[in-house]
Amino acid sequence: MDTKILQDIGLSEGETKVYLALLRLDSTTTGPIAAESGVSASKVYKILDRLHKKGLVGHIIQGKIKYFKAMPPSSIIDYMNETERKLEEKKQEVTKMLPSFEKLISKTQGTEATVYYGFRAVQNLFRNLREELKSGEEYFTMGAKYQEDIPGLREFFYNHHMQRAKKKIFLNMLANADARGNMEKTTLQNADVRYLPQYLMTDMQILFFKETTYIILWKTEPIAFLIKSKEIVSSFRKYFEAFWKIAKK
């Protein structure tokens, strides 16, 4: 049975393994789940919590012990329908944002703007960043975090920062507060990372260097805006410097 389809619809590899293990085990505790799924016990609780939020796992408490049980396979369709509904809502939000971006762009001469859809397209933007920047140059990013329901996102950033650091491209990062202690280790190489307070956290990442700005909405199906404009980079740099003063290491 090809289970990759579950990752294609938004489950991570770990979530897929744990859900299928629960289907085989029925109601059980975390120990058997870890053994059956091959996922480390330290990660099982977090994965079960994410599956619970997706409506794919339930639990009961018997004698102060929590037992987990997979929801029926038909719940996968419910999850897909809910994911589609949320994606449509985000699409409507982005559609509302477009006039604001276009208005901003229209104020500058020679500005180029492009919209990219999907994880692979956004990956290519980061590859272009590594190719464009030379050793010793730097870039800036705000609102960095991991969107756990995007399969392969952590692995991608691990490899991106490994290649970035190897090329000696310096990173100035303002990460969301909930990313503290949760960073891939390569992120901290050749980098200065500070954390935004809770009230400034966002799902939107802004990244800029030279004349280029990326505005990325990290969702199951990411959306990114690429803007070529010195003026816009300058504007975001001012925001960055203001936030940098109140961020914590």
Q: Which fold has domain 83-246?
A: Endonuclease; Chain A (3.30.870)
Q: In angstroms, rounded to a whole number, what is the distance separating the alpha carbons of residues 24 and 69?
A: 10
Q: What is the pLDDT of residue 127?
A: 94
Q: Give the residue from 131, 130, 106, 90 showing the smallest Cα distance to 223.
A: 90
Q: What distance in Å separates the CA atoms of residue 196 and residue 243, rounded to the nearest whole number? A: 7
Q: pLDDT tens, 37-68? A: 999 988 998 999 999 989 999 998 888 899 99
Distance CA 52, CA 71 (A): 9
Residue range(s) of every CATH 3.30.870.10 domain in the chain: 83-246
Instruction: Determine the pLDDT at residue 56.
Output: 92
| Interatomic CA distance for residues 172 and 15, integer angstroms | 32
Confidence check: pLDDT of 106 > 60? no
Write the class of the CATH domain 4-73: mainly alpha
Structural tokens at position 206:
């802004």
Residue 61's pLDDT is 87
Q: Would you place residue 214 in the very low, low, confident or very high pLDDT band (cuts 50, 70, 90)?
A: very high
Domain with CATH 1.10.10.10 in the chain: 4-73
